Structure 1
Amino acid sequence: MNGAGVGRLRRCAVAGVLGAALATSGPAAGVGRAFAAPSPAPGQSSAKAAEPLPGAVVLAPVTDSADTLPTTQGVQQALGPLLQDKALGTLNFAVTDAATGRLLLGSGENTPATPASTTKLATSVAALELIPADRRIETRVVAGAAPGEIVLVGGGDPTLTALPADQVQVGGLPVDPDNAPASMTDLAAQTAAALKAAGVTTVKLGYDASLYTGPVRHMENDDYNVAPVTPLMVDEGKVEPRSQAEAPARVLDPAGQAADAFTALLKAQGITVQGRPAAATAAADARTLGTVRSPTLTRLVERLLTHSDNTIAEAVARLVAIAAHRSPSFEGAGAAVTETVAKLGVPTTGVLLNDGSGLSTANLIPPATLVGLLSVAAAADHPELRPVLTGLPIAGFTGTLLGRFGARSGAGEASGIVRAKTGTLSGVNTLAGTVVDADGRVLVFALMTRTAAGADPTPSRIAVDRIVARLAACGCH
């Protein structure tokens, strides 16, 4: 086999075991220090690498030869012409060597830019830092204040489903039993059994959606990419629960929809609900009649990253706010996420978060922060953050990267090698993740572009993908 074939095999092997390799990496103390150097003037790339992070991500090297270490000059030579592609518009970026933490190349790496859905990296890191990975969100039914009254209590699980188990899908695929969402059918069965045991077959139903505070509508008033944010909803507030559309229509009152669905499921269990369900507040010491639990936080984070799920992201952001003793609102969640990642050593200068999903065009994150988030997620002393990496879409294979890095784009070399979070808004295209280069070295990158609002995003995406593919193809030394 020739040298290129050997390199390709070795690179694929490294890509396949990246998660295991990262699990043996070094600590992430001082993540932000690799970006302490000032940004170059607009349009110019950083001339030299910053100092390495103390105890940064340290992967077991593929080889000890200095000839395979990526350098600033190597990266600059590899990417030079691609960085001038006019389809990129305004480009802020950073590329680092994961093993040493060195900033290899950047332009405007400390300049805040609109992150779009790469915001979800910050939300996910903060959630896994503050909340146990095996945490599950409970949806309960409790006894009401008066005999014959029951209350459906939302705990913040947007994946609660009223669909039969064989009809539940994520990303168009059936859900495996270990990752199945909580079932409202199961909740109705538990509740009906408890009621019948007490000789009750007719009830009044209330529903409690009081866990969150602040506006339920996203500040961008997006009716399709995110449901109104309430702690009680079923099937993510979709008008058509079975819809796998990229932007499904959402109901205006997710809590009311959930209560109506629960009413129908109780009827199927032989329990009659008198009148229409009404908003209510459950007593803190109310007797529990039934409980169902969401997938673990790990699974929720992986799902929100792989499929860029805005509704799950907003729910997870509110869990962060509650864990940080902030108000569970858009504002409180943004503050809690920012504070949490800063305590991890991720640079947060210039960061402004108005939501947990990235739909807000007013959000600001520099490339240095995105690279810092990925670096700390890979560090050995933060194994709890590893689902951030395992949740990243795989180029050409999963989630929001399924249709990217194809052969026709000129970026097919990176298919299956890149793992990255996408971000798309009108005039904004971002990509942040990891790539294994031709020498088996892991590089971390964040590319943030800005073009004219309303412009076709395809040329910008292809230009970004070609940059990352070039990183995959080069040894950059």
Structure 2
Amino acid sequence: MLTTLAVLQVLTIVIGVYAMTTEFSLSALTSGSSPTKPTASPAEGTSPSVPVVTAGPVLAQLPVKPGDGPLPTKGTLTKQLASALGDDALGDRVGVSVIDTVTGEQLFAADPDTAVTPASTTKIITCSAALAALGPDTRFSTRAVQGSAPGNVVLVGGGDPLLAGPTAKQDGYPKQAGLATLAARTAATLKSQGVRKVTLSYDTSLFTGIAKAPGWKSNYIPDGEVAPVYALTMDVGRQDPRFRSPRVPNPPQYAADAFARLLTKQGIKVAKSVRQTKAPAGAAELGRVDSAPLYALVEHTLTHSDNDMAEALMRHVAIKEGQEASFKGGAKAVATVMQRLGIAQGVSLDDGSGLSIRNRISPNALAKAIALSGSPAHPGLHAVASGMPIAGFSGTLGNGRRFVGSDSRGQVGLVRAKTGTLNNVNTLAGLATTKDGRLVTYAFMADRVPVNAEPVLDRLAAIVARS
């Protein structure tokens, strides 16, 4: 049933083997790192464009029909996983679920319904809900519109934190919308109307509520883990897009001031004061730029553990589901969408990124959500599978610190998984093709870790891949 997906999975793995940090879009085919600080998973930069690749030994080692091979021997798998779970590095609260994607059969479980702090594996749920609610081709628009009086311009945030500022390089994947492009289009419209002097305001009303989630630690924003959440943000709130920190304290004002300077360069004189306002209903559009399609944003979010994009996606789900676009409304909306997908239990969120220590997700919920991304009944969810980092090669699994042990490095390139890291929390959830070509999903979660359990989680995923 999942032959096509599994073949595409193999192709994405081959791409990963030859491109150390390159993302590859499964959606494009079907349609034509541990953090530097132990407190949270990072929001990394975009990756380079996809190079030309030829098939290599990873593909040659796999059967003709990946996904249709025999199930791994349960006794052997159980013995090996149970032995690895005895490692003291995992602490005293561990949840595990391993699922066969063809039949839905649970191949191994250890407290699979235990509510565990998920850290950044939360993004699997957030991204699944976004794709299901909004559709993979949805784009987010940043606009400039006519204000309430002639000569007034309002910059309207569309909830795209990847909006590129004037100094950002835009040569990666996914292709970002650019504030400079918006300024050029807006200036052209204004000049066509004979307007060369304006007052500028900005509108952030698409998102509501507080800008920092319950359960966020005070150091997250200063350390560059995430920016305050607003509908108008450029360069994910970074003061300089080349560096992870510092994040600016007021992303909307920072973006609007940059837009004013860009308009000036285009020959439009802008009044000195740039303030917040709300655009008039039905205001005439002066210019707009659109984000990459949602499937590409999801791939980016999962590969690079982008906290800012995850929080934006959660709010867009809230809007689609008729909830307020806040942390609270987003959590309700995501839960509603997951229930429609058949995951009615095991998900309780306070944010969309997993930075909140108050989030709880069960291993069963994560493994089932990943399995849905390969289901023929849910083709719109495929970007969850293709966005997973590749062991040893891309994203948060490509930092040279994962899958390096003697008990896991043999599965480099054969495991795809989303990492999760907070203080005393290590999680890993993803998919792998067994040695006989069976596609399985898994979630390994521990939230009472004494120091660091990442090598043990890598070993567990490697056991599944070579079973």
- Residues 116 and 424, structure 1, Cα contact 8 Å, conserved in 2: yes
Counting only pairs closer than 5 Å after superposition, residues 43-58 of structure 1 correspond to structure 2 as none
Match of 2:384 in 1: 388
- Residues 115 and 430, structure 1, Cα contact 8 Å, conserved in 2: yes
The Cα of 1:249 is off from its aligned counterpart by 2.0
- Residues 413 and 472, structure 1, Cα contact 8 Å, conserved in 2: no
Quick check: 1:237 aligned with 2:246?
Answer: no
Counting only pairs closer than 5 Å after superposition, residues 140-159 of structure 1 correspond to structure 2 as 140-159=143-162
Counting only pairs closer than 5 Å after superposition, residues 400-419 of structure 1 correspond to structure 2 as 400-403=396-399, 404-408=401-405, 410-419=407-416
Q: 2-side partners of 1:211 and 1:16: how far apart?
A: 39
- Structure 2 spans left out of the alignment, 5+ residues: 1-5, 14-24, 31-64
Match of 1:191 in 2: 186
- Residues 98 and 108, structure 2, Cα contact 8 Å, conserved in 1: yes
Report the secondary structure of 1:118's partner residue: helix
Match of 1:208 in 2: 203
Match of 2:87 in 1: 85
Of all paired residues, the percent bearing the same amino acid is 42
- Structure-2 change in CA distance of 1:361 and 1:233 (3 Å): same
- Residues 403 and 458, structure 2, Cα contact 8 Å, conserved in 1: no
Q: 1-side partners of 2:278 and 2:12: how far apart?
A: 49
The Cα of 1:473 is off from its aligned counterpart by 2.1
Report the secondary structure of 1:249's partner residue: coil
TM-score by length of 2: 0.83
Report the secondary structure of 1:371's partner residue: helix
Q: 2-side partners of 1:17 and 1:390: how far apart?
A: 7
The Cα of 1:164 is off from its aligned counterpart by 4.9
Match of 1:69 in 2: 71
Q: 2-side partners of 1:319 and 1:60: how far apart?
A: 35
Report the secondary structure of 2:427's partner residue: strand
- Residues 374 and 385, structure 2, Cα contact 8 Å, conserved in 1: yes
Report the secondary structure of 1:187's partner residue: helix
Q: 1-side partners of 2:135 and 2:465: how far apart?
A: 34
Q: 2-side partners of 1:405 and 1:104: how far apart?
A: 25
CA RMSD of aligned residues (A): 2.2
Report the secondary structure of 1:372's partner residue: helix
Rg comparison, structure with higher value: 1
For each residue in 1:324-365, what CA deviation from the matched residue of structure 2 results, as whole angstroms up to 9, or x when unmatched?
00110000001110111111112x324211111111101011
The Cα of 1:402 is off from its aligned counterpart by 0.4
| 1:122 paired residue among 121, 125, 141 | 125
Match of 2:19 in 1: none
- Structure 1 spans left out of the alignment, 5+ residues: 1-10, 25-58, 169-173
Q: 2-side partners of 1:228 and 1:258: how far apart?
A: 13
| 2:307 paired residue among 310, 316, 327 | 310
For each residue in 1:48-90, what CA deviation from the matched residue of structure 2 results, as whole angstroms up to 9, or x when unmatched?
xxxxxxxxxxx87544xxxx42243121122232111111113
1:112 partner amino acid: A
Report the secondary structure of 1:274's partner residue: strand
Q: 2-side partners of 1:402 and 1:15: how far apart?
A: 17
For each residue in 1:300-325, what CA deviation from the matched residue of structure 2 results, as whole angstroms up to 9, or x when unmatched?
11111110100000101111000000
- Residues 405 and 415, structure 1, Cα contact 8 Å, conserved in 2: no
- Residues 67 and 102, structure 2, Cα contact 8 Å, conserved in 1: yes
Counting only pairs closer than 5 Å after superposition, residues 18-29 of structure 1 correspond to structure 2 as none
Q: 2-side partners of 1:392 and 1:107: how far apart?
A: 23
1:122 partner amino acid: I
Give the number of equivalent residue pairs.
409
- Residues 113 and 365, structure 1, Cα contact 8 Å, conserved in 2: yes
Match of 2:393 in 1: 397
- Residues 420 and 434, structure 1, Cα contact 8 Å, conserved in 2: yes
TM-score by length of 1: 0.81
| 2:457 paired residue among 437, 461, 464 | 464
Quick check: 1:100 aligned with 2:108?
Answer: no
Q: 2-side partners of 1:330 and 1:427: how far apart?
A: 24
Q: 1-side partners of 2:103 and 2:234: how far apart?
A: 45
Match of 2:246 in 1: 249
